[in-house]
Structure 1
Amino acid sequence: MKLIWYLVLVILYALYNTIEGAHFRGGIISWRPLNSTPSGSSASILIHQRYFWNREWSGFTPPYCTEADVASQTSIPVNSYMTCLSNCSSSTYPSSGLSTVMTTTDCDQNTIIESWAGERYDTLTLPLTTSITIGFQSSAWMTALYIGGGQSWSIVNRLNLGLRPDGYINSSPVTNTLPVVFYQINTQVVHVVQMADNDATDILQCRWSNSASGSNYNRVDECGGICSGLPSSTVVTASNCTLSFTLPTANLYYACALQIEDYYSSSSTSPMSSVPIQFLFYGYTASSGACSERPSIIGDRPNRACIGVPIGVQLNETIIIQTYCPGQTIVDLVTSSPYGMTHSAISNPSTNLWTMVLTWTPVAAQTGPQGFCAGAIDNSSLQSDPWCITYLVDYDSPDLIRPTLVQGSASPVGTVFSNQTLFSIEASSTVGRPTRNGTDICFHDADTNVSVVCYDAGYASNLVYTGNTIVIVANYSWTPGKTYYVTMDSGFASGSVFCHAESSPITDPTYWRFNIWDPAVSSTTTTTTTPFTTATVTTRPTSTTSINTLLTTTGIALTTTTAMTTNATTASTSDSTTAASTTASATTSSETSESTVAVMYPKDFENACQQTVAIMTPVFFITLMPVHAVVMYAAFIKISNMFNPAHIQAQARHKRRLRRIFAA
C-alpha cells in the first residue's frame, strides 16, 4: 500500500513539475481597493494575478489547451502560492499566501509562442497598516533565453495601504502585454509598454526590475534569473515606459522584467506601489519571400483606447488586420484577454483584410479596468505591433448625442453661410480632451466623400471642451451650394474616470450634415397649357426666392428677388380639323429686391457680448464700491446713534428739560 502511495506522489510531483519546470513565460500582479475612501482601520483589496505558461504539457490529455478551455474557463493547475516576502508583520495577509491556480484566458497555437495564459482575482480585508511585498517565486524559466534560460523566476509587487496625501487609499497602476512580441534582429526597435492608473493624477514611472534587495523599493529580488535580460545597450524611458533596443541573435527569446510605480506628484521621492510586468521578445530573420511590410491591426478602436462597458451586457468587438502583399495571409492572432472573453476563428472577408470577433459578457467581479492586447502573425512569422485597449467595466463612455434639426444637440445643421466658423456638439455626460493624439474630427465633402479639413483633438487649440459640450472653431472657406458632413474618431470625447473611457467613433455620413447657402441659385417656372377651347394663357412674372432652411432655429427667413424675363404664349385652337398656330411675344417683369438680413445665432450673440460684459462688470463694481461704502457708513452711524446709551440718555434729559420749560 505504501508503495502505491509513493507512486502516486511521484506521479503528482512529475505532473506538477511539468508545468513548473522550465515553462514560465512571465506575468503581472496588481491590486486596488474596492472603496478608496477609508472607513475604519481596514479595507477590502482586490488582488489580480496574470501569468503566461508554455501551452504544451506532456502527460496530459489533450497535451495543450485550446479555445474550448477559454470558453469553459478551465483552470490552469499551477498549485503554488503568491506569498508575503517582506515586512509581513504589518499586515494580516495569509501566511500560506494566495493560490496561483488560474482561470484560462488565452491559448495560442503558434509554434513560436505556444502560450497558455490565465488570471485570478482574490479579495482580502487588510489593515491600513499594510505595507508588504508579495510575490510568486519558483523555478524555472524556459531554456531558450538570451539571458536566464532555465533559471528561477521572481515576480513581486508592493502592496502599501498607507493613506495617500489626499486622504484616500491608493490603487496600484495597471498594465497588460502580449506573452511574446516579435521583432526582426539587427533592427532598431522602439517598444511602448502600456501603463495606466485609477488615480488619474498620479505620476507613473517604469524602471528595470533588479535583484538588489537591500536598495530597491520592494526589498527583495524582483526578477530572479532574468534581471538585465535584454541587451546591455537597451534604454528605458521612465516617463512613458518606452524601450529602445536592437535584438542581436535570431531564434532566441529575450526576457523583459520591469516595475511600474506610481508617485503622488512630480516632486515625490518615494513611490506608493510597485507593479511587475514580465514578458518575452523574440528575435527573427525575415525570410526571402516575406512581405516588406508587417501586418497591422486597424479598425474603429485605435491602439491604447479606453472603452466603458456595462456589466452583464454582451460585447462584440471586431479586430481588423490589414496585409500588404500578395500571398501574405494571417495565420494567428496572439491575445492577452480578460477571463470569459472568447475569440472566433480568423476570417478573410475581403482582399488584404482579416478579422477576428471577440465576444465577452463582463461580470460584477470584473468591475474596473480590464486590459486586452492582440498581435497578428502572418505566414512569414511577421508580427504586427501590439494593439492594446482597456475595457472599463461598469463605467459608461460619453455618448455624442445625434444631432436633430430643431433644438438639437449639434450646431449648425441645415443651411448656413460660407463664413460659418463655430460648430458645437453635446455629449450625454461631462467630457474632456482625449489623452492621446490621432483622435480627429473631420469635415467631408458629401459629393466626393473626401475630407476637406481635420483637427486632432489630442492637441488642437481650436477645440474647446466645456462641461457636456465640445466647441470647434473651423478655419475654412466653405463652398456655396456644397453639402458637408462630420466624422469623429473613437475617443474624440473622453470621460472623467480612470483611463477616460472614450466615445464611440462617428463614421455615418448622415449623422451630422449641413449645406452652404448659394445666393446665385435661381429658378424659372414654365407652364404649358393645352385648353379644350380657344384661349390665351400667359405665364406671369415669377420671382426666384431662396429660403433659409434654418427658419426653424433662427426664426428669420432670408429672401432675394431677381428680375425675370418670361415668354407670353398664345395658343389658338379651332375645331379638330383646324391646325393650331402659336405666336410668342416677350414680356419683362419689374425688378424688385430686398436687402440681405444678417443672421446672428444665439451663440454668436453670446460670444460678441462676452468681452463687453467681462469689461463692464468690473467697471460697474468699481464705480459702485465708493457709493456703497458711503451708504453703509451712513447706515452704521445712524444705527450707532440710535442704540448708543449716552445718546439715549442725552435725549431723555432733553425731553425732561423741555417738559419743565413748558410747565413753567
Structure 2
Amino acid sequence: MYIWFTLTFFALIPCVLSSHFRGGLLTWNAVNETQILVRHRLTYVYSYCSNPQNNTLECISGCTGSVVTNANCTESNSAENWADFEGETIFDIRHATSSHLGLRFASGNLVSLTQPTFAHSLILKMTVDLSLRSDTGSTNQSPVSSMASSIIHPCELNQYIHIPACAFYFHYDVSYGDYTVALQIEDFTDSSSSVPLSSVPLQFMIIVSSIPCSESCSFVSPTPLDGDTLHSQNGSLQFIARAKSRSLYEIVTEFHVMSPLTFTMSAISQPVVDEYQVTMSLESVANNVIGTYVVCFSAETNKR
C-alpha cells in the first residue's frame, strides 16, 4: 500500500481571527458494508470551548444522506486562541450508486484571511471506498494521520515540521503571524495507480512566534530527540518528556501529545528546580494498528 500526501492547498497566509473555524481532520474505518465510523476533529477559536459543538457531515457523491456530528472540547489554548473538538460518529451509507463515495463538511465561518480575500469557507472532503483491496484482500480503510491543530514556529529559526511520510521546511525569514496549511492525504494500491482508494483532509495552523528563543523553554534529556524511532514491546511504550525553563519565573504548566495512537500522561513532576517532566504511555494497541506512527508533543508555560 502506498500513501501519498497531496498538497491541495498550502498557503502561508497571515490571518485575522474574526470568525471561528481554524481547521480540522477526518478519517474513517469500515464498520460493515453500509456503515463507516468517522473520526473527526474541528478546531475553533478558544471562546467556543465552553460548549459542545454539532456539525453536519453530508454525502455529496455516490450516496445520499447526512449525519450530525457531536464533539466536546478536548484541547485548548487561550493565548493562541484555539480549541479542538474531537469525536466519533457512525455514518449510514444510503442509496449507494457507487463503491467510491464522497463526504464533506463545509462552513462559511473560516477565520478571516488577509489573502486571498475570497477564502471565507472551511471545506473538509474525504472519499470512501469499501471495496476489498486487491493488494491485501481486506476491506479498505482510510490513511491514519494526525497533527497538532496549531504549531509554534519559534522566532527566527529554520525548522522541519514532520507529518508521516513527509516534512515541511520553514525558513528563518518567515514573517511573524498565523498561517494555514491544508493537505489531502491519499492512499493507492501501488505506485502505478492514479485513482486513490481513499482521500482524507488534514488542515492546521502554524503560528510564527515573535518571542525570542532565549525566552522559550526547551526539551532536554531524557526527552526523545526530533526524528527518534521508539519501539513498543507487546503493544506497550513509555517515554519521558522533560522541558527546561529559561528563568525561575517561567513555569511549565501543561504538556500536550498528538498522535493517531492513544497516549496517556502522568501528572507533571519537577526533578530539579527549572525542569518539568511527564511520563507518556501508549495504551495497548490491537494488531490492526501495527505500523509506524508520528508522535508530536509540546510544553506550555505560564508565559506562552
Distance 1:339 1:174 in 2: 9
Larger radius of gyration: 1
SS at match of 2:195: coil
Q: Which among 111, 129, 148 is matched to residue 178 of structure 1?
A: 148
SS at match of 2:202: strand
Percent of aligned pairs with the same amino acid: 21
Flag structure 2 segments of 5+ consecutive residues without an equivalent. Answer: 1-17
Mapped partners of 1:353, 1:128: distance in 2: 58
Question: Equivalences for 1:156-555 in 2 at 5 Å?
Answer: 156-166=125-135, 167-184=137-154, 186-194=156-164, 240-246=165-171, 248-250=174-176, 252-287=177-212, 289-290=214-215, 294-295=218-219, 298-299=222-223, 305=230, 307=232, 319-323=240-244, 325-327=246-248, 329-336=251-258, 345-356=267-278, 368=289, 373-378=296-301, 381=304
What does the per-residue CA deviation read over 1:474-495, in whole Å, with 9 as the maximum and x for residues that have no partner? xxxxxxxxxxxxxxxxxxxxxx
The equivalent residue for 2:83 is 115
Is the CA contact 2:82–2:150 (under 8 Å) kept in the aligned structure 1?
no
**Shift in CA distance, 172/248, structure 1 to aligned 2, threshold 3 Å:** same
Aligned residue identity for 1:375: S
Deviations 1:63-112 (A, max 9, x none): x44xxxxxxxxxx5323201112x23xx3x5x1x12221144x2334411
Deviation at 1:334, TM superposition (A): 3.5
| Partners of 2:29 and 2:36 within 8 A in 1 | yes
Paired residues of 1:28 and 1:278 also in contact (CA < 8 A): yes
Partner secondary structure for residue 172 of structure 1: coil
Which residue type is aligned with residue 99 of structure 1? Answer: V
Instruction: Name 1:385's counterpart in structure 2.
Output: none
Unaligned runs of 5+ in 1: 1-20, 36-41, 58-63, 66-75, 195-239, 382-664
Q: Deviations over 1:160-214 (max 9, x none)?
A: 22333334322211111111101135543321113xxxxxxxxxxxxxxxxxxxx
Do the aligned partners of 1:26 and 1:278 also contact (CA within 8 Å) in 2? yes
RMSD across aligned C-alpha pairs, in angstroms? Answer: 4.0
User: What is the one-letter code of the residue matched to 2:242?
Assistant: I
TM-score, normalised to structure 2's length? 0.73
Aligned-partner SS, 2:54: coil
Asked whether the 8 Å contact 1:43–1:128 carries over to 2, the reply is no
Tell me, yes or no, if structure 1 residue 100 matches structure 2 residue 21: no
The higher relative CO (CA closer than 8 Å, separation ≥ 6) is in: 2
TM-aligned CA deviation for residue 296 of structure 1:
5.3
Post-superposition offset of 1:143: 3.6
- Which residue in 1 is equivalent to 2:25? 28
Structure with greater helix percent: 1
1-structure distance, mates of 2:78, 2:237: 24
Does the 8 Å CA contact 1:25/1:279 hold for their aligned counterparts?
Answer: yes
Structure 1 counterpart SS, 2:218: coil
Does the 8 A contact of 1:25 with 1:52 survive in 2? yes
Q: Describe the shift of the 1:363–1:287 C-alpha distance in structure 2 as closer, same or farther (beyond 3 A).
A: closer
Checking the alignment, whether the CA contact within 8 Å between 2:155 and 2:209 is kept in structure 1 is yes
Q: Give the counterpart of 2:110 among 116, 141, 146.
A: 141
The 2-side partners of 1:138 and 1:183 are apart by: 28
Q: Distance in 2 between matches of 1:192 and 1:357?
A: 22
TM-superposition CA deviations, 1:276-335 (whole Å, max 9, x none): 1000000112338525x733585479866575787xxxx995642232745464243244
Aligned 8 A contact 2:163 2:294 in 1: no
Contact 2:184 2:202 in 1 (8 A): yes
Deviation string 1:189-246 (CA, Å, 9 cap, x unpaired) is: 321113xxxxxxxxxxxxxxxxxxxxxxxxxxxxxxxxxxxxxxxxxxxxx3221233
Hey, which of these two has a bigger chunk of strand by percent?
A: 2
Task: State the TM-score, normalized to the length of structure 1.
Answer: 0.36
Distance in 2 (CA, whole Å) between partners of 1:187 and 1:300 is 20
Q: 1:115 to 1:175 in 2, by over 3 A?
A: same
